[in-house]
Amino acid sequence: MQTMAATSTTSASSSPSLFAIWRRHVALCSSPSPPPTSSFSSPNRCPVAGAGAPVLPLGIRGGHLLLPSPLLPAARKTVATAAAAASPPADSSDGGGKAESAGISRTVQLGAMILVWYLLNIYFNIYNKLVLKAVPFPYTITTFQFASGSFFITLMWLLNLHPKPRLSLGQYAKIIPLALVHMMGNVFTNMSLGKVAVSFTHTIKAMEPFFSVLLSVLFLGETPSLLVLASLMPIVGGVVLASMTEVSFNWIGFWSAMASNLTNQSRNVFSKKLLADKEETLDDINLFSIMTVMSFLLSAPLMLSVEGIKFSPSYLQSTGVNLQELCVKAALAGTCFHFYQQVSYSLLARVSPVTHSVANCVKRVVVIVSSVLFFRTPISPINALGTGVALAGVFLYSSK
């Protein structure tokens, strides 16, 4: 004990400066504070923690420990981070519920678009067939349909419902051949619908994949796979079987439908080639719109040269046709003609090409069945079998 006391006494005596500093600090904190002479507190006084309680030195520079205030920005950020860490994790079911709700909404929207697409197709084919039976002038009817489409396209651009195309003369020159085959494809379709049943025309038009593959090989250099070639066999066989047993078979109607397949698929192949050009600034909607307007300008002189002005009121009254009823049906057919194609392009922008092809295959089935029921078209079991085999081949081709 004496040794330890001696050691303590020796240590205290060997450090007089540190001991003196500590006593001076205690004396300063215990003495009453003089009135302040300025708005700033003296740096020699002890900081006050509250109620005049002294604060001992903490061994850091300046002898003060500045605690962050909750009112300072940095402190608020620290407090918020700590509160977030301490709070329970948010329920992730809300995000999953929103994603599921968005998925359901998108499915309902696509289903509604497909339903509208099918209904417009059904009404177009029915009204178009009724008009062609009353006035068998396919060039005149085609021109009227392109005029209806041009009217709606002009409204679309004037009301800024879709951006207007800005093309050079060279780009317009590239679209003219597409417009020509587009116009001829619709003329041939109307020629076929005027000669044979709607169901038979669409059975023949089920051969579109055959012409698509053929033209892609010839002009795009694409090589079809064995699966694609295998799917073409039931298409061709089914169309041949249906043609052999068709009650309303007519060679003009048959070859017109085949020519429609050739021209429409030529348009699709060349459109694909045009849209693949990186220098062209065209979307599908504007390309279709420009082709429609050009097709109207090309079909008008062709109509006048081939059929003349046959849609005049005097001529129609001489044939005993109800002029008002005919004009209403023609207007409805032209409106449905334009908007079913517009909905088709809008749907293609929202789904994959395979999904669109499958929906188009189902659409053809719906149109055939509805036309058979509406016009009471007689069909034999072999004819129905051929149509079914051809449509099954189209489904296989679309699902490749």
Whether the model pTM is above 0.75: no
Rounded Cα–Cα distance for residues 194 and 87 (Å) = 74
| Residue range 180-200, pLDDT digits in tens | 999 999 999 999 999 999 999
For the chain, which residues make up each domain, given as ranges?
112-399
125 residue type, one letter: N
CA distance readout (Å), 223 to 181, 205, 215, 238: 24, 23, 11, 24
Q: Would you give the distance in Å from CA 321 to the centre of its chain?
A: 43
| Residue range 298-357, pLDDT digits in tens | 999 999 998 887 767 777 777 777 888 888 999 999 999 999 988 887 887 787 766 777
Rounded Cα–Cα distance for residues 258 and 188 (Å) = 8
Mind giving me the DSSP string for 90-142? PPTHHHHHHHHHHHHHHHHHHHHHHHHHHHHHHHHHHHHHHHHHHS--HHHHH
Contact between residue 242 and residue 200 where contact means Cβ atoms under 8 Å apart: yes
| Residue range 69-123, pLDDT digits in tens | 433 444 444 444 444 444 455 455 556 667 777 778 888 888 999 999 999 999 9
Query: For residue 118, what pLDDT is reported?
Result: 94
